[in-house]
Structure 1
Amino acid sequence: MNTQPNVVLILADNLGWGELGCYGGGALRGAPTPRIDALALEGTRFLNFNVESDCVPTRSALMTGRHPIRTGAIQSVPAGLPQGIIPWEKTIAELFSDAEYATAMYGKWHLGDKEGRYPKDKGFDEWYGIPRTTNESMFFDSIGYDESIVEPPYVMEGTKGKPAEKKELYDLEMRRKIDAVLTERSCEFIKRNGNKKPFFLYVPLTQLHFPTLPHREFEGVSKHGDFADSLIEMDARVGQIIDAVDQNNLTENTIFIFASDNGPEYRRPWRGSAGMWTGTYHTAMEGALRVPLIIRWPNKILAGKVTNEMIHVVDLFPTLAQLANLEMPKDRMIDGLDQSQFLVGKQEKSNREGFVYFIKTELRAAKWRDWKMHFVWEVEPNAGANHLETPYLFNIVQDPKEESDVNSTQGWVRGPIRKMVINFQNSLKEHPPIPPGAPDDFQPK
């Protein structure tokens, strides 16, 4: 048996806090999620897992352990324009590959759509999925769509060392089918590699991103519409991958992670739920920052534990590196904190007390312990950002909806938050960020 742990990392797309049964949704959302709920009982469920503002920045943070303000991967960019992370960035997949892990990614990349920036160029032995985003599947039915101006979106396939290939057109029917294909390939990869060498499997599913359309096999099962059908499908796909691990006798030696990339969609009719929190992605509200995270590793990570200790998506990079004995890059600023001792129960507290929160290049908020300070106030995306002369301060334990400014009664908190912000801003001066759209040969100073 391999002594190094396998890692399976499933990332849902636009899955809000309030959707899963184990986070207060499930049947209340018209869609029971028994497989993910069971996973939560077999592992640790995190109540204070924080991400970036939307798809691209979170995926960059996950892959590099660096806030997107450093990597330049700060927003979704249309096809044909410079985007993603430059080749200089070192991904977690590259760390695993350097340690002779088998690596695969099946799903949505969103960190580069040209040779040199595809997943197969950034540490993954094999990749099947979409280079950008799911809403492109709507192009074919859009008024005035001109294929001579904007190239049709494709599902793509790539193998390390070879050019990526266009496979199926990513139209609305393929949008319905794709998570089934991603899951099938994931299960086959687990079976193929499980008893040969350790593996790192990254499965960024496409549900529940808009257009939120279920596979035809799940259409109508909830009796509550496409969104609930899609949530039921997502739960079933996660269950299939869990079964592949368990049925191949890999449970004990596999770190199984399920998370989301950001808070829920705000557009109707695909709007999701952030549960007890306010807001959607593309805002600095708690409903944008907090998303589900469940980690199972039998006899290493406590089963049935629920924690409100603060974790950030950048922390997964150094934490997995420590757990799998990978060599970390030493020539760049890593924002993530190693949480391995906390995860395995050797310390009670997380190593993280706070973080800064940018949307694109603008500092929007900072979170520290039980408080959050907003420098820019925007509850709904594109509703008009209010740049505050005096920042709002909320105690998010006493006031999870972020409705009552406590500047006057708990104003002492402004000091440590301001110091945290200043320290981060100084680190940007010491380690200048990579500008968005930087060419492949850009070298940070």
Structure 2
Amino acid sequence: MNRYCISIIATLAFIATSCKEKPQSIVKNESPKPNVVIIFLDDSGYSDFNPFGQVAIETPNVQKLANEGVRYTNFHVPQAICSASRSALMTGLYPGRTKVFGAHGPKEKCLDTIYPTMGEIFQAAGYTTGIFGKWHLGDTPETRPHNRGFDESEGLMYSNDMWKHHPVNPKYWGRFPIQYWKNGKVTIEDVGVPEQKQLTKWYTEGAVDFINRNSNEPFLLYVPHSMPHVPIFASEEFEGKSGKGLYADVMLELDWSVGQIMNAMHKNEVDENTIVIFTSDNGPWAAYGNHAGTTPFKEAKATSFEGGTRSACIIKYPNHLEANSSSDKMFSSLDLLPTLASITSLELPEGPMDGKNVWDLITGESGAKNPHNYYPFSTGKNFESVMSGDGKWKLHLPHKYASLNTPGKDGASGNYDNKEIELSLFDMENDPYESKNVINEHPEIAKQLKTFADAHKTKFYSEK
């Protein structure tokens, strides 16, 4: 064999070896589709973390996420109650369209399977999908997450207070044991206090393991924590750690969870190609006093005031969003699904989509305008208010609401007063606390928003 042939054989062998031993990091970076991670807290107050006003305890991981991403101070959910908020996130549809109102209990269907979920849409596009946390969108065989588009699932089917140990016994509490599910099977038949203390830890460990095993292909990871919805619990590693009470301990553990997820992405070299969204389903459940979070805005969970519907939000997407910046642009959880579908080049299914692509707003593109005429807000089955798409004005229809009178303590609920608001217009740029009714000063704006509200109510809330 001559020297020329030997040289060719050696070169081909080198190429074959190089291809075979190609580093995983190179393979990962070739993926054109970004991963998506959504961390969705339960009843967290707007001001529960350092980047949004909380200074009592250190939450370095959430702060780091904010430093690497954008803080959005005008992010809303369409209804400040568990199931309705989650349905809007997962479908991009109004509560009035899906008829998912309030908080659904054990053994209930909740979100109709005719409405595709984010999991189903991403799964159909080739994403590996996982949920680790509280589902609360159905507890019948066809509506549980493993049948709604999630390849891997682990956690509770509904709120952790719907258990036999609750101090009161409304419609759901006490009727069924809380079950812990994993990939379509019950692994713990009756969740008790020892298991409640492990929820944040178990969700986090599951999420980290999911990232470790699926980092070579695009993935959607949804982490809807059970905390800090009451009853609140922290694991042994965090209970008493803050020195400032159990709620602060819970915040520390949730902050740790954020750090673990971020570290896993960095370790697997996918953090540069991952969209991370951190927010809450609604504002704090203020009735529980020192076991609830805080918000600077009016009222709290289960109202259509800002204290209920405005949630702190951070989005990180390296090389696409300006790090350590802030935006006061208005958008909603309704918009996340269509926006993510656009970014990831996913095709949305045929049918209605109430949310809209607001990527230009999220990126802060000059001259970007919100595509919505209005955003609707409801409490349970009651349609109560609308905000202009640009977030400048908010109109409350006449409605009754529960306003906290005396907060509870150490896990006990406080007392509410029944109040009522008349037709009221608020200038949200100058009065985000909804303290002064300016309807007489701006009758034309009120008239336009009332037209939107009447049409929305007729379409989605009128009895058929």
- Report the TM-score, using the length of structure 2 for normalisation: 0.85
Residue 118 (structure 1) aligned with residue 144 (structure 2): yes
Match of 1:24 among 27, 47, 53: 53
Determine the C-alpha separation between the residues in 1 that align with 2:40 and 2:166.
Answer: 28
**Which runs of 4 or more aligned residues in structure 1 lie more than 6 Å from their structure 2 counterparts after TM superposition?**
none
Q: Which has the higher contact order (CA 8 A, sep 6+)?
A: 1
Q: How does 1:423-434 map to 2 (within 5 A)?
A: 423-425=455-457, 427-428=459-460
CA deviation after TM superposition for structure 1 residue 363, in Å = 1.4
Taking structure 1 as reference, are residues 417 and 65 closer, same or farther at Cα in structure 2, changes over 3 Å only? same
1:134 alignment partner, SS class: coil
The equivalent residue for 1:439 is none
Q: Which amino acid aligns with 1:372?
A: K
Q: Which amino acid aligns with 1:67?
A: Y
Q: How does 1:240-259 map to 2 (within 5 A)?
A: 240-259=260-279
Does the 8 Å CA contact 1:65/1:315 hold for their aligned counterparts?
A: yes
The equivalent residue for 2:211 is 190
Determine the C-alpha separation between the residues in 1 that align with 2:80 and 2:165.
Answer: 28
CA deviation after TM superposition for structure 1 residue 379, in Å = 5.6
1:293 alignment partner, SS class: strand
The total of aligned residue pairs comes to 418
| Higher Cα radius of gyration | 2
Alpha-carbon RMSD across the aligned residues, in angstroms, is: 2.3
Taking structure 1 as reference, are residues 141 and 48 closer, same or farther at Cα in structure 2, changes over 3 Å only? closer
Question: % of aligned pairs identical?
Answer: 30
Offset from partner CA, 1:79-131 (integer Å, 9 cap, x none): 23x34101111011111000011000000000001100000111000110000
Does the 8 Å CA contact 2:105/2:162 hold for their aligned counterparts?
A: no
Match of 2:380 among 360, 365, 374: 360
Does the 8 Å CA contact 2:284/2:295 hold for their aligned counterparts?
A: no
Does the 8 Å CA contact 1:310/1:353 hold for their aligned counterparts?
A: no
Determine the C-alpha separation between the residues in 2 that align with 1:406 and 1:136.
Answer: 41
Residue 8 (structure 1) aligned with residue 13 (structure 2): no
Q: How does 1:330-409 map to 2 (within 5 A)?
A: 330-331=350-351, 333-347=352-366, 348-352=368-372, 354-368=374-388, 369-375=391-397, 376-378=399-401, 380=403, 383-386=417-420, 388=422, 391-409=423-441
Q: How does 1:125-140 map to 2 (within 5 A)?
A: 125-137=151-163, 139-140=164-165
Does the 8 Å CA contact 1:39/1:296 hold for their aligned counterparts?
A: yes
CA deviation after TM superposition for structure 1 residue 225, in Å = 0.6
The equivalent residue for 1:440 is none
CA deviation after TM superposition for structure 1 residue 426, in Å = 5.3
Does the 8 Å CA contact 1:83/1:112 hold for their aligned counterparts?
A: yes
1:357 alignment partner, SS class: strand
- Consecutive unaligned residues of structure 2, counting only runs of 5 or more, are 1-27, 405-415
Q: Which amino acid aligns with 2:191?
A: Y
The equivalent residue for 1:85 is 111
- Report the TM-score, using the length of structure 1 for normalisation: 0.88
Range with bigger deviation, 1-10 or 417-426: 417-426
Q: How does 1:138-149 map to 2 (within 5 A)?
A: 139-140=164-165, 142=167
Q: Which amino acid aligns with 1:73?
A: V
Residue 54 (structure 1) aligned with residue 86 (structure 2): no
Q: Which amino acid aligns with 2:181?
A: M
CA deviation after TM superposition for structure 1 residue 385, in Å = 4.5
CA deviation after TM superposition for structure 1 residue 265, in Å = 1.1
Q: How does 1:180-219 map to 2 (within 5 A)?
A: 180-195=201-216, 197-219=217-239
Does the 8 Å CA contact 2:297/2:432 hold for their aligned counterparts?
A: yes
Offset from partner CA, 1:197-239 (integer Å, 9 cap, x none): 1100000011111012211110111111100111111111111
Q: Which amino acid aligns with 1:304?
A: N
Taking structure 1 as reference, are residues 143 and 314 closer, same or farther at Cα in structure 2, changes over 3 Å only? closer
Does the 8 Å CA contact 1:8/1:201 hold for their aligned counterparts?
A: yes
- Consecutive unaligned residues of structure 1, counting only runs of 5 or more, are 436-445
Determine the C-alpha separation between the residues in 2 that align with 1:10 and 1:271.
Answer: 21
Taking structure 1 as reference, are residues 270 and 155 closer, same or farther at Cα in structure 2, changes over 3 Å only? farther
